[in-house]
Structure 1
Amino acid sequence: MTESILIVDDNLEILEFLTEVLGDTYKVHVAENGEIALQILDTEVIHLIVLDVMMPGMDGFELCHLVKSNVEYCHIPVLLLTSKSSHRSHIEGLEAGADAYTRKPFSPKFIQVQIANLLNNRLKIKTHFASSPFEDVRVMAHSKTDETFLKKLDDYIRKNIQDSQMDIDKLAEHMNMSRPTLYRKIKSLSALSPKELINITRLKKAACLIAENEFSLSEIARMVGYGSQSLFSRNFQKHFNASPLEYLNSLPKTTTK
């Protein structure tokens, strides 16, 4: 998957320069002001924002604060660009919620490395969550707002885990979000579609039940919302690289009966 970056700057030369520097690696969206940036955030899955501080109207600090205080966008890392060199401006950027701060002028290599590091750190967390049977979904949270959002989402999925018809429409209604907004939020935050997140939650719950060794595999399949044990076994194998029985046999004997 090619990650998407939003560049916000009122200087067209900077927009063209950064598009050229980053365009071979990422899908690049550009905005000349904060209002256009918000329109893009409302329609696209954005993985990182490169944001100039000095802009007319809504400046970079204001837009950064708005992004970081909105549950729909707060998970997106923000890299601030500024020609200011004072400690006060740096502190102001961090107070607005920026994840990184770069002074102009900067070399193409420097900003490429900064962006790669921010995205790679997020990717490691997403991969760890998806592949670890007992890892809590809140490991992907980068703020208290995200933690609350993920807990509410996870609680609903687990409460209704036997519902084989659970889908994004039911999740969106519970989360008081539109379907597209929830999709963008989950996709950007976890790199998963809502359907994939539901399925991984089912499989993680199944892994916990298998470890308890109190139910048959067919019972566990039904308990986590699978109407077919064969489909459950195939999905478990695909996700954890082991069949449910192999997984059970791999557990320490003290956890099984």
Structure 2
Amino acid sequence: MHALLVEDDDRMAHALGIALAQRGHTVRRVGRASDALQHAHEAEFVLLDLGLPDLDGLELLRRLRAVCAAPLIVVTARCGERDIVQGLRAGADDYVIKPFRTAELMARIDAVRRRTDVPSGGRNAGDGDTGGPVRTGDVEIDLGARTVTVAGAEVRLPRREYDVLAFLAARPGEVHSREEILDRIWGDVFLTASRSLDVHVAGVRAKTGRPGLIRTVRGFGYQLGDGGREDGP
């Protein structure tokens, strides 16, 4: 796999480059946002530091997501809850805080790649259901085409937000625990503490303009709703 490593610290970049190469990855390391955008089309996955000299890392993340669908992990010293939430909302597949254990980062890379690599003809987050679209209220989720329309207008969701919605839509009558969703979509039940799932659920509600599209089951998890007003947080 070809990694794009966006890191302006030479020592950190050197250490990560060695660790990635030892696991069979080829690496292009860049230290500026402009270079990252130039080489984004080559990447099969991206490691992104947020502290860059020429552009805020979150803004670069948004720009990368506009041109690059490769799995992306933020690797940064920014550890505030607001930073983590913003990174996930901007399109990061995972968020790793420095300092970190190299083995853990490599495991997270493998996990992100497993859950984002869908073989040709394989199954998507909705277990590959390719039957008729799922409708709830004025929302239609087409699991085969991976599209969402609200009142007849298409709404474009980031990949992970769509995956959460598709998983729930594939089983509209079932309530799913947080752990089940995290394991199925993220491949890691321990992401509960990072609020990744909550952030992506909030993103679906906001982008569709239908707060009740994903219904909260207090103390347990989520279920596909009717698209109306949500009763609680």
Give the structure-2-normalised TM-score: 0.52
1:57 partnered with 2:62: no
Match of 1:29 in 2: 28
Structure 1 residue 137, shift from structure 2 partner: 6.1
Match of 1:206 in 2: none
Match of 1:129 in 2: 122
Tell me, in whole angstroms, the C-alpha distance in 1 between the residues paired with 2:128 and 2:106.
33
Structure 1 residue 97, shift from structure 2 partner: 1.3
Q: Is the partner of 2:75 in helix, strand or coil?
A: strand
Q: Is the partner of 1:53 in helix, strand or coil?
A: coil
Contact 1:129 1:137 in 2 (8 A): no
Structure 1 residue 94, shift from structure 2 partner: 1.3
| Correspondence list, 1:109-120, <5 A | 109-120=103-114
| Higher helix proportion (structure 1 or 2) | 1
Structure 1 residue 83, shift from structure 2 partner: 1.0
Q: Is the partner of 1:40 in helix, strand or coil?
A: helix
| Higher strand proportion (structure 1 or 2) | 2
Tell me, in whole angstroms, the C-alpha distance in 2 between the residues paired with 1:51 and 1:23.
17
Match of 2:44 in 1: 47
How many residue pairs get aligned? The number is: 138
Give structure 2 stretches of 5+ with no counterpart: 131-142, 148-155, 160-233
Contact 1:8 1:32 in 2 (8 A): yes
The percentage of counterpart residues that share the same residue type is: 23
| Correspondence list, 1:173-212, <5 A | none
Contact 2:71 2:116 in 1 (8 A): no
Structure 1 residue 16, shift from structure 2 partner: 0.5
Q: 1:137 to 1:83 in 2, by over 3 A?
A: same
Which of structures 1 and 2 has the bigger CA Rg?
1
Of residues 6, 13, 16, the one that matches 2:14 is: 16
1:96 partnered with 2:93: no
| Correspondence list, 1:159-174, <5 A | none
Q: Is the partner of 1:120 in helix, strand or coil?
A: helix
Tell me, in whole angstroms, the C-alpha distance in 2 between the residues paired with 1:105 and 1:88.
19
Q: Is the partner of 2:53 in helix, strand or coil?
A: coil
Match of 2:76 in 1: 82
Structure 1 residue 129, shift from structure 2 partner: 2.4
Q: 1:122 to 1:128 in 2, by over 3 A?
A: farther
Match of 1:239 in 2: none
Q: Is the partner of 2:99 in helix, strand or coil?
A: coil
Structure 1 residue 105, shift from structure 2 partner: 0.4
Query: Amino acid of the residue matched to residue 120 of structure 1?
Result: R
For residues 180-204 of structure 1, the C-alpha deviation after alignment (integer angstroms, 9 at most, x for no partner) is: xxxxxxxxxxxxxxxxxxxxxxxxx
Contact 2:91 2:158 in 1 (8 A): no
Match of 1:185 in 2: none
Tell me, in whole angstroms, the C-alpha distance in 1 between the residues paired with 2:62 and 2:88.
10
For residues 65-120 of structure 1, the C-alpha deviation after alignment (integer angstroms, 9 at most, x for no partner) is: 1111x2x31x2121011112211111111121111000000111010000000111
